């Protein structure tokens, strides 16, 4: 396994992070346990979850939210130094109840959400506590005061963000600096060959402030995982996915052709393309099965030649570089 620093912090994390959104939803508990065992055995030390993971992400459903954390908690409770080997990351923001203060990032919600996640995870601290989305109605003074309290109490070690814009990262860091607080150490964003918008301003902001990057949906919801070959093999897909495939069919044909030419699986190429970015800390993989997890590790061994990187840019062009040069002189 390869390791790197979590942003500008001294903490070292694996370049593959285990995403657990499927645990309790499409992946049952015994399989989830086995995937976590396999991940630990392979040297993956960063596990990523969220308070809403495990089913329909809405408190209006009879069950679902919180289940992923509970499964991880029961796995950790088996002992065997599982917890001591992990960098455990979770998130807060989304509704976890029907009350007016059961969502977003008020100090009240941050305190309550942290306590509930600690209970579900059966641990006394969260290594990386991530804000799942920006809260435009809560001032940073309130957010950082609540996070600082959790850090002082030893319940949270590092703080991260997810789905933030570049200017929001800058605002958060400036507010933290004024309080002599470390602030954010990483951002988790949508990023893959088909979705490169963050190259405009988010990635430059991360580089400037020394924050790590965790891309979510690295395979574009399955689009970059060899979807054409799977369709040819009789794989059934939703109408929405079929429509998306038709929309991108020329690019997918070129992409899968390039992957075949260099002798690598499409999913491995998509992950390897992300890993070549120096700002990226780790890519989050969300395996549904143990076989999917094992296959994902192959990406760490893939080195893409310059010609392949150039052709990937031609097939899946980004926004044209960083702002403002991407659209202005």
List the catalytic residues. Answer: 53
Strands 12-14 and 16-19: what pairing?
Answer: unpaired
CA distance 118 to 264: 41
Q: Residue 50's Cα: distance from chain center in Å?
A: 10
CA distance 25 to 67: 8
Tokens 């088996």 — which residue? 78
CA distance 93 to 52: 9
Phi/psi at 27 (nearest 5 deg)? -115, 120
CA distance 103 to 137: 12
DSSP letter for each residue of 266-286: HHHHHHHHHHT-TTB--EEE-
């Amino acid at each position: 396994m390869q390791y790197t620093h979590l942003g500008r912090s001294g903490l070292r994390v694996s370049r593959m992070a285990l995403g657990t959104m499927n645990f309790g939803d499409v992946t049952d508990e015994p399989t989830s346990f086995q995937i976590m065992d396999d991940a630990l055995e392979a040297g993956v030390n960063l596990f990523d979850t969220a308070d809403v993971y495990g089913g329909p992400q809405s408190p209006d459903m009879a069950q679902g939210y919180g289940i992923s954390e509970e499964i991880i908690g029961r796995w950790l409770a088996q002992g065997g130094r599982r917890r001591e080997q992990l960098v455990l990351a979770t998130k807060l923001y989304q509704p976890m109840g029907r009350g007016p203060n059961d969502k977003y990032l008020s100090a009240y919600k941050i305190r309550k959400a942290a306590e509930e996640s600690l209970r579900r995870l059966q641990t006394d601290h969260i290594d990386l506590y991530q804000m799942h989305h920006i809260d435009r109605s809560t001032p940073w003074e309130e957010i950082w005061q609540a996070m600082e309290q959790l850090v002082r109490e030893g319940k949270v070690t590092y703080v991260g963000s997810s789905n933030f814009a570049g200017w929001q990262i800058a605002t958060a860091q400036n507010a933290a600096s004024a309080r002599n607080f470390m602030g954010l150490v990483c951002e988790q964003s949508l990023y893959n060959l088909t979705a490169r918008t963050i190259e405009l301003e988010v990635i430059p902001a991360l580089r400037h402030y020394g924050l790590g990057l965790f891309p979510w949906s690295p395979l574009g919801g399955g689009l970059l995982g060899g979807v054409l070959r799977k369709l040819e093999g009789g794989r059934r897909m939703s109408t929405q996915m079929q429509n998306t495939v038709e929309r991108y069919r020329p690019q997918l044909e070129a992409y899968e052709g390039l992957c075949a030419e260099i002798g690598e699986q499409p999913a491995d190429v998509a992950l390897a393309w992300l890993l070549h970015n120096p700002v990226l800390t780790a890519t989050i993989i969300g395996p549904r099965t143990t076989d999917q997890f094992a296959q994902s590790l192959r990406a760490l061994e893939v080195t893409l030649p310059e010609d392949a990187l150039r052709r990937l840019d031609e097939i899946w062009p980004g926004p044209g570089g960083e702002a403002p040069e991407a659209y202005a002189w």
